[in-house]
């Protein structure tokens, strides 16, 4: 039974990476890319391999601490319920039109359909692909199973750069972190404008600014909150949140392979990307 579930999960993930537009759209709208509907038996969402957060029976203990007294976030976590929570984005007219076009095309332009980055929000809130925190005194490393993205966040009191000082825009931007009490606060700028905020589009510009707040509620739970603002594309800031639950201690990030040569010219003319 477990092998069958694993096989089905592998087929779904392969379809997510390799299939063109409309197929991607149907999978995305079903919730795979956003984490909604991706849960396996017992809320696992990992092809049935072991027990997930929902199956952990014993109550979590107090927040663990590192030698310097900070909350110890080391370990593997995944979104509890998937997709995160957030209000509707308030777009400026040009961004609203572009987002409407994405939706009308059944999400054929989803960057993840071409093995491009899901962006910070989707990487953090998805429940199908877990994330791993590697905490050190002067930096926090976050490893994402989804397409093996990673972030190295300095915690050495350096100042955040201005946009003019950022050499290269990146899908996960330029992050600087600091501790405010027991909450890790991460400031992010320098973000590429092609990523989507959610699986229903979520157009933004390269002016996007994100402030993330990671707070451990107990030994097995991290509350993630994010405030996003984009004066070029939105009319007001946008807030979202998610609960991340610790995975079993024997869990590990799995291999993820997205096709390297998914080129636009390989797709039918009617399925050309919207820029």
Q: Give the model's pLDDT for residue 107.
A: 77
Q: Is the pLDDT of residue 33 over 60?
A: no
Q: Please tell me the predicted confidence (pLDDT) of residue 96.
A: 96
Residue with tokens 């929000």: 121
- pLDDT for the residue numbered 60: 84
Q: For position 258, what pLDDT does the model report?
A: 82
Q: Residue 98 corresponds to which tokens in the numbers above?
A: 């572009």
Confidence grade of residue 131 (pLDDT, cut at 50, 70, 90) = very high
CATH code of 76's domain:
2.40.128.20
Query: Using CA of residue 200, residue 201, residue 207, residue 213, what is the dihedral sign?
Result: positive
Distances (CA, A) of 109 to 4, 28, 55, 103: 31, 11, 36, 9
Provide the mean pLDDT of the chain: 80
Q: What is the pLDDT of residue 264?
A: 60
Q: Collect all residues with Cβ–Cβ distance below 8 Å to 175 and sequence separation of at least 6.
A: 151, 153, 154, 186, 187, 188
What does the pLDDT read at residue 79?
A: 92
Q: What is the mean pLDDT of residues 70-92?
A: 88
Domain-embedded: residue 58: no
Nearest CA-CA partner of 76 in 217, 222, 224, 240: 222
SS3 for 103?
helix
| Percent of the chain predicted with pLDDT > 90 | 59
Q: How far apart are CA 132 and CA 28, in angstroms?
A: 24
Distance between CA atoms of residues 240 and 257, nearest Å: 29
Least Cα distance to 140 among 170, 177, 183, 172 occurs for 177
Mean pLDDT value across residues 29-38: 34
pLDDT for 200-213, tens place per residue?
789 999 999 999 99
CA nearest 84: which of 44, 50, 134, 33?
33
- Is the pLDDT confidence value at 78 over 70? yes
Number of domains in the chain: 1
Tell me the per-residue pLDDT of 206-251, one tens digit each, with 9 for 90 and over. Answer: 999 999 999 999 999 999 999 999 999 999 999 999 999 999 999 9
Is residue 229 in some structural domain? yes
3-class DSSP state of 256: coil
Nearest CA to 119 out of 172, 176, 192 is that of: 172
Tell me: the pLDDT tens digits for 15-30? 344 333 333 332 333 3
Q: Is 152 inside any structural domain?
A: yes
**135-149 pLDDT per residue, tens:** 999 999 999 999 999
> What gap in Å lies between CA 122 and CA 16, rounded to an integer?
14
Is 57 inside any structural domain? Answer: no
Q: Which two tokens stand for residue 90?
A: 């308030």
User: Is residue 91 included in any domain, yes or no?
Assistant: yes
Instruction: Please count the other Cβ atoms lying within 10 Å of the Cβ belonging to residue 102.
Output: 19
Average pLDDT over residues 146-165: 94
Structural domain contains residue 41: yes
Query: For a pLDDT cut of 70, what percent of the chain falls above it?
Result: 72
DSSP E strands, 50-127: 75-79, 85-86
- Which pLDDT score is estimated for 270? 55
Comparing 179 with 17, the larger pLDDT belongs to: 179
- The verdict on residue 211 lying in a domain is yes
User: Does residue 130 surpass a pLDDT of 90?
Assistant: yes
The answer as to whether 236 is a domain residue is yes
Domain that holds residue 135: 2-52+63-271
């Amino acid at each position: 039974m477990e092998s069958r579930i694993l096989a089905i999960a592998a087929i779904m993930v392969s379809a997510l990476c390799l299939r063109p537009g409309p197929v991607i759209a149907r999978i995305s709208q079903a919730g795979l890319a956003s984490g909604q509907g991706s849960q396996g038996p017992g809320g696992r969402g990992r092809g049935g391999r072991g027990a997930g957060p929902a199956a952990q029976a014993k109550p979590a203990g107090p927040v663990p601490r590192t030698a310097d007294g900070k909350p110890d976030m080391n370990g593997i976590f995944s979104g509890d319920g998937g997709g995160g929570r957030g209000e509707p984005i308030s777009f400026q007219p040009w961004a609203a039109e572009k987002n409407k076009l994405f939706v009308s095309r059944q999400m054929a332009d989803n960057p993840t359909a071409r093995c491009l980055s899901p962006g910070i929000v989707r990487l953090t809130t998805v429940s199908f692909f877990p994330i791993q925190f590697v905490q050190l005194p002067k930096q926090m490393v976050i490893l994402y199973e989804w397409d093996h993205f990673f972030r190295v966040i300095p915690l050495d009191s350096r100042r955040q750069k201005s946009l003019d000082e950022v050499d290269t825009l990146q899908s996960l931007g330029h992050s600087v972190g600091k501790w405010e009490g027991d909450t890790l606060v991460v400031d992010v700028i320098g973000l590429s404008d092609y990523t989507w905020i959610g699986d229903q589009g979520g157009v933004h510009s390269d002016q996007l600014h994100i402030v993330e707040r990671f707070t451990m509620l107990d030994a097995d739970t991290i509350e993630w909150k994010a405030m996003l603002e984009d004066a070029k594309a939105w009319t007001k800031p946008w807030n979202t949140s998610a609960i991340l639950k610790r995975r079993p201690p024997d869990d590990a990030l799995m291999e993820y392979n997205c096709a390297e040569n998914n080129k636009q010219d390989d797709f039918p003319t009617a399925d050309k990307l919207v820029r």
